[in-house]
């Protein structure tokens, strides 16, 4: 095989590898696209099958009035029917759509519940309007804050006007359904305090385990690494007991106070990076009369900004997405974080308002994506440098 043929084969190979990776990446972006799409839909289109990717709005005209309605292709009247009003029984006054053949001498059979028993009874009805087969049932979509019952219409398909409409108002409504900005404030408090705590404690511990010579240093480092293998459920109850006795449960303190005592994974990352800093710089600083703290503050920290940034980003993401911690320690809705607030939003109603839940979830996820997008270069460079030596 000639050199030219080999180069062509390598290019073809790279092309197919790149194509496969691009197709795989679509599987990761698919859930996010579905999340955003659902956040912009009316509620009736969130669980529709087949799925609706582009939100639609439906309108009809009635007596010169343009009315927005819920429309479903399955809501088609299959046979000639009548709208009837029940004139007796516990369901008196109820309006039903009944097939023409089911009306016998002005009466129909209906189910009526008496005590714990459901019985079929024959009741008199009053016919209101004839509904020919082939019409579609559409229901008026009430605006936010409207009261009363929506009107129901039976119309031909050509009377239903369809438009593409993105429901950006879902985001506004979602922030009103729950105290979203209060949850956001609580989350930011936890995030920033925990980032400060991790950077202070973990960097000091990592410096002591990498640049200061003392007996048993490596043993202590291995013990620190070993703590990463302890699952959280093992320490969950003891930690809760400690914070309860300290009177911190129900507050945000249990979510950020532990970060001021170091974290094994962050200590490991920082130590590996500190090991790449030449010891000659530290020796020169000692000759100039610098103390250990001055060396740490004036030499180690300025040279370690990339890895400190990555550790801070890791901790910020963890605190932002943490659900288990708030679920264990927070009892008052005024102290809820975003992750716990979203779960509360889902459970506070009888049925989940998926379009609003997806809108709130999008507002939680997008800031993190934007943050990572603008910091990915620094993130990748720092991870590449970490572990070169050690």
Summarize pLDDT for 342-389 with one digit per residue, the tens. Answer: 888 877 655 678 888 899 999 999 888 888 777 777 666 665 555 444
What pLDDT, in 10s, does the model give residues 195-253?
Answer: 999 999 999 999 999 988 889 888 999 999 999 898 888 889 999 999 999 999 999 99
Q: pTM for this structure? A: 0.79
What is the average per-residue pLDDT within 116-136?
A: 85
High-pLDDT (> 90) share of the chain, % = 27
On the 0-12 / 13-18 / 19+ scale of CB atoms within 10 A, 245 is exposed
* pLDDT given for residue 195 in this prediction: 95
In this predicted structure, the answer to whether residue 140 has a pLDDT above a threshold of 50 is yes
* pLDDT given for residue 199 in this prediction: 94
Q: Rounded to the nearest 5°, which phi and psi values hold at 84?
A: -130, 155
* pLDDT given for residue 379 in this prediction: 65
What is the average per-residue pLDDT within 323-336?
A: 91
Domains and CATH numbers, the chain: 56-170 (no CATH), 174-385 (1.10.3720.10)
* pLDDT given for residue 387 in this prediction: 47
In this predicted structure, the answer to whether residue 186 has a pLDDT above a threshold of 90 is yes
High-pLDDT (> 70) share of the chain, % = 93
* pLDDT given for residue 384 in this prediction: 58
When mean pLDDT is compared across 6-10, 99-103, 224-228, 337-341, the lowest value belongs to 6-10
Q: In what order do the strands lie in the sheet with 152-155?
A: 152-155, 136-140, 65-70, 56-62, 161-164
* pLDDT given for residue 288 in this prediction: 84
Band (pLDDT 50/70/90 cuts) for residue 129 is confident
What is the average per-residue pLDDT within 49-74?
A: 87
What pLDDT, in 10s, does the model give residues 345-357?
Answer: 877 655 678 888 8
């Amino acid at each position: 095989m000639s050199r030219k043929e080999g180069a062509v084969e390598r290019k073809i190979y790279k092309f197919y590898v790149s194509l496969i990776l691009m197709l795989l990446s679509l599987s990761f972006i698919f859930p996010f696209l579905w999340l955003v799409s659902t956040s912009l839909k009316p509620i009736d289109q969130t669980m529709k099958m087949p799925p609706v990717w582009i939100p639609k709005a439906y309108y009809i005209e009635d007596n010169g009035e343009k009315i927005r309605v819920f429309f479903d292709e399955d809501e088609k009247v299959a046979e000639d029917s009548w709208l009837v009003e029940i004139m007796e029984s516990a369901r008196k006054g109820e309006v039903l759509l009944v097939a023409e053949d089911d009306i016998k001498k002005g009466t129909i059979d209906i189910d009526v519940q008496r005590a714990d028993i459901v019985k079929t009874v024959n009741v008199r009805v009053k016919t209101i309007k004839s509904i020919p087969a082939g019409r579609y049932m559409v229901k008026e979509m009430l605006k936010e804050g409207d009261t009363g019952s929506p009107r129901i219409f039976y119309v031909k398909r050509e009377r239903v006007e369809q438009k593409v409409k993105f429901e950006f108002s879902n985001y506004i409504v979602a922030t009103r359904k729950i105290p979203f900005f209060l949850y956001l404030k609580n989350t930011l408090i936890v995030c920033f305090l925990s980032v400060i705590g991790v950077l202070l404690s973990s960097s000091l511990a990592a410096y002591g385990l990498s640049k200061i010579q003392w007996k048993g240093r490596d043993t202590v480092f291995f013990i620190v690494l070993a703590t990463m293998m302890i699952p959280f459920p093992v320490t969950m109850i003891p930690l809760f007991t400690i914070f309860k006795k300290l009177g911190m449960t129900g507050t945000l303190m249990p979510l950020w106070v532990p970060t001021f005592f170091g974290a094994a994974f962050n200590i490991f990352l920082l130590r590996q990076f500190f090991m790449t800093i030449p010891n000659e710089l530290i020796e020169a600083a000692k000759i100039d009369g610098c103390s250990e703290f001055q060396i740490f503050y004036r030499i180690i920290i300025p040279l370690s900004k990339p890895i400190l940034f990555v550790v801070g980003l890791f901790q910020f993401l963890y605190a932002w997405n943490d659900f288990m911690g708030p679920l264990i320690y927070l009892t008052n809705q005024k102290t809820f974080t975003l992750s716990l607030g979203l779960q509360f939003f889902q459970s506070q109603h009888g049925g989940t308002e998926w379009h609003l839940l997806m809108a709130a979830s999008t507002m939680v996820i997008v800031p993190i994506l934007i943050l990572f997008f603008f910091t990915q270069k620094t993130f990748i460079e720092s991870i590449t440098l970490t572990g070169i030596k050690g």
